[in-house]
Structure 1
Amino acid sequence: MPEVIIVGGGMVGLSLSLMLAKAKINVKLLEAIKYPTEHDQKLLEYHSRFDARNSALSRRSISIYQQLGLWTVLQQYATPILEVQITEQGSFGHATLRAQEEQVESFGQVIENAWLGRVLLKEVRQSEYIELIDGVEVTALTQNESSVCVTAVRAEQAMPFEAPLVIAADGRDSKCRQLLGVSASHHDYEQVALVTTVQTSKPHQQVGFERFSPLGPLALLPLPGDYRRSVVWPVKKGEQEQWLGEVNDDHFLAALQHAYGDRAGRFEKTAPRFCYPLSQVLADKQAIGRVVLMGNAAHTLHPVAGQGFNLCLRDADVLVRYLTTHLKNHEDIGTPSLLQAYEKARRKDQQRVIKFCDSVVKGFSNNHPVLKLARNVGLLAFDRIPGVKPLVANYAMGLKV
């Protein structure tokens, strides 16, 4: 019997399985999508799980990958963020965070999900402690006092699995969460994130921009190659079609130019744009008997501050620490009281990040003159009041949770 079953082989599920494998815990990893082979480079690079999006890895997340022995490889595809500039289009407020002033090597590093996923998947396939079973759909999940039974189907063939602990990392619309009867709160931001890569005439110099515009908050982050930058631009739902497709390349570049001015130089080229609906989904419970909800199945956040994936990795890191301690004491790692203790331990960090992301979205999506004045004054205060920047920077880097 495997010691853990993970449902969901996205980046959270892959990362978590490697953390467990490092602790010599056997894992069965179930994934609905059939992954390409490592030789099929084109499909693997832009597979739906390793798509056009990017992850801004906090220093805490980098530390986790260092402990897994993966950062030397991942570093080749990552770019450090040495400075962050926060501004609002057409307003006087601004703030700047500099890694040198905060006495850190960087605030984190940006990596394309395509590369991160490729490295993680390759490592999972090579691990003696992980069995990856892809192309299967979970159809049933039941529990008893000592184990959890999971039924998965592939090509109409039922495949039963059993383990003392199941971790459901199967995304925002988690089938496991539904099978467990766990409800979740949903808040639709009425936005769609446009995601792409652009080339600019000025080198990025490892500077990231957060620019609040009337169309939505834009993130422009540095990528490998001096002139490549990632764009995440939440726009109103229903307005995304005007930005998609090759025929709209010039229109999209002109809109970026208008929003950013000349800070990045000229926006010269753009890759295809992809879009993703934005909502906040929070599970009412994360520990249900011998099952733990993880990743977007537990909490799906707005990408405005780039904190979602980093929060998920911190969750995974803490859970693995709890499990390894129990294993050393020869105790049952699926004990409900243990999983409830994990959930309680993570509550403060999760609530802080959830509240921060939601507040930023709502605070900068309202163009009322009084609120606009208040947030610009707030940006200036943030930029100038001693002691505020180090506190915010440490939270963003995941160093104080």
Structure 2
Amino acid sequence: MDTPTYDIAISGAGPAGSALALILASKTPHPERIALVGRRIIAAQTAASNQEAEMADPRTLALNHGSRILLEQLNAWPRDSADINVVHVSQRGRLGRALIDHAELGVPRLGSVVAYDALLTSLHHALAGSGVTLIEAAPTMQVVPGQVELNLGDRRIHSVLAVQSDGVRPQGVRREYQQHAVLATMRASRPRQGWAFERFTSQGPLALLPHPEGSDLYGIVWCCSPAQAATLSTMDDPNFEATLHHTFGDRLGRFQSMGKRHVFPLSLHAGPSLINARTIAIGNAAQTLHPVAGQGLNLGLRDAAQLGQALAQWLAKPGTDPSHQLEQFARNRRPDRWLTAGITDFLPRIFSTGNPLVEHACGAALLSLDLLPPLRNTLARQLLQGLRT
């Protein structure tokens, strides 16, 4: 049997996989024995000059305070971001609202919003100087005796362990929400600096996030039925602006459309972290969540941080059996993963039942959150840092 080429091969060069590669590189004297394999790896020498050209992905990401600390420690925090200091939660047409304020939690901010491609550029720029082996390819993998084999199309590589971070759907729990997300960037006539909004409607949640490209800009994530999403995506700008104002209210004044709208279907997919004795799943390969409360990437980054911690001792002695570390990682991550998935699954469904009694109960729950700081702060800390085990 050939000696494995790498200690760890990470399949997927998105944010979670890239962060994991940087974490692992800091824990080994031989970072070149960590391979990051992905379809799109931005070269450091072109990252700065081509940043605007690379900004093709329409998503903005709400990263909580814990995720920001991790990325800053990895020297991978993007140049442009917009802080979230207060989150305003409400329900359209019903009483009850809740405010979550960073000051109550003793943190400098609840989180920050970054552009997806700006984050990816920063991560890949940091990777270029990390010593990690970067391979641009779309791999498939299989376990062979004593190692994992990755087929890169024109060649094959081997590793002791493999991590799947994106590119495949988790196998296990699945739910189709019958909702699509309409993404847009809007300018508000009366912006509120540092405020983010989550407004539940009968068809799904509507989020307005401060935008990293301007203090009066907001990233819109409007979850609704596929039929409504199709209508919203094809409206002319004045009608879309008026419909958004009617749904959201007057808190930010009038809206002006800035650029194109994009539509994505929404579903839940979640499966085990431990795929087999030599393969671990993290990030989107372990769970893809509804975007309510912006928990998907935050959960994936917690996966990466804890996997890096779990493998630190093994990386110092890679010839030993890593099965105990992998099993312990999967066991320790289970409570946080399933609690976060449960929250993001429950909220968009309970607020969109269309049942008036349920809607009034949801309004009462928001009022309770607003009146009872311990209850509110418990939920906020889960969204801020996850369930610690």
Query: Normalising by structure 2, what TM-score?
Result: 0.91
Provide Cα deviations, 1:145-166, integer angstroms capped at 9, x if missing partner: 3x1111111xxxx211011111
Tell me the residue number matched to 2:13: 9
Q: Which runs of 5+ in 2 are unaligned?
A: none
Q: Offset at 1:333?
A: 6.8
Q: TM-score, normalised by structure 1?
A: 0.89
The answer to whether residue 368 in structure 2 is matched with residue 361 in structure 1 is: no
User: Counterpart of 2:151 in 1: which secondary structure?
Assistant: strand
Q: Structure 2 vs 1, CA of residues 144 and 101 (structure 1 numbering), >3 Å: closer, same or farther?
A: same
Offset of residue 334 of structure 1:
6.3
Aligned match of 1:144: 145
Count residues with an aligned counterpart.
377
Match of 2:163 in 1: 167
Report matched runs for 1:2-401 at 5 Å. Answer: 2-24=6-28, 25=31, 26-33=33-40, 37-38=46-47, 39-46=49-56, 51-71=57-77, 74=78, 76-128=79-131, 130-134=132-136, 136-145=137-146, 147-153=147-153, 158-171=154-167, 173-174=168-169, 183-224=171-212, 225-245=214-234, 248-284=236-272, 286-328=274-316, 330-332=317-319, 335-398=322-385, 400-401=387-388
Deviation at 1:101, TM superposition (A): 3.0
Are residues 346 and 399 of structure 1, via their aligned partners in 2, closer, same or farther at CA, if it must alter by over 3 Å? closer
Shift of 1:29: 1.4
Contact 1:6 1:169 in 2 (8 A): yes
- Tell me the percent identity: 30
The Cα of 1:243 is off from its aligned counterpart by 2.1
User: Using the alignment, how far apart are the partners of 2:228 and 2:372 within structure 1?
Assistant: 39
1:112 Cα shift?
Answer: 1.3
Give 1:20 shift. 1.4
- Give the C-alpha shift of residue 344 in structure 1: 0.3
Spell out, residue by residue over 1:299-321, the C-alpha distance to the aligned partner (whole angstroms, 9 max, x if none). 11101111111011111101100
Look up the SS of the partner of 2:95 in the other structure.
coil
Residue range with higher mean Cα deviation, 386-395 or 159-168: 386-395
Q: Secondary structure at the match of 2:353?
A: coil
1:194·1:276 contact (CA, 8 Å) conserved in 2? yes
Per-residue CA deviation, residues 172-229 of structure 1 (Å, 9 max, x unaligned), is x34xx7xxxxx43321111111112110001221101000123421010112322011
SS state of the match for residue 164, structure 1?
strand
8 Å contact from structure 1 (residues 287, 340) kept in 2: no
Which range is displaced more, 374-383 or 101-110? 101-110
The separation in 2 between residues aligned to 1:41 and 1:307, in whole angstroms, is 26
**Residue 180 (structure 1) aligns with:** none
Q: CA deviation at 1:103?
A: 2.7
Q: Deviations over 1:325-357 (max 9, x none)?
A: 2234x2547622321111001011111101111
RMSD: 2.0
Contact 2:163/2:279 (8 A) holds in 1:
yes
Q: Give the counterpart letter for 2:53 in structure 1.
A: L
1:140 and 1:331 map into 2 onto residues whose CA distance is 20
Pairwise CA distance, 1:256: 0.9
